[in-house]
Amino acid sequence: MNPSTGIILVLCIALTLASSIDAMSITERWICTSCVTQQECDQDPPSVCIWGEARNNCGRRICAKGPGERCGGSLDILGICGEGMMCKSDERCHGCSMQTLECSHN
């Protein structure tokens, strides 16, 4: 094998490993932390939820998103729409909130 071919091969392997490690760390940040007990899953969200509540993919209570707010994404990382709304392909909540009766104008 030519020495320059060996160097290129090593660089390709290093770049492949670096990109997969970076992708793994991003994915780990997206994945929620599972509850140890049901009581932990049922804890109140950290703030008052104007648009109502939802449960994330790990079963924890979270504040729902409102009309026009970002939602969805991989594993719903951007959030879940409140009751009366749905997340569409533009990653925005559409419809009217059952909590406030406010509607998106899209």
Site of tokens 């290093």: 14
Whether the pLDDT of residue 19 is over 50: the answer is no
Going from N- to C-terminal start, the domains of the chain cover 1-30
Question: How many C-beta atoms surround the C-beta of residue 70 within 10 A?
Answer: 14
Report the percent of the chain where pLDDT is more than 90: 58
Residue range 52-79, pLDDT digits in tens? 999 998 899 999 999 999 999 988 999 9
Provide the 3-class DSSP secondary structure of residue 20. Answer: helix
pLDDT at 21 over 50: no
Angle at 83 between CA 80 and CA 84, to 5 degrees: 115
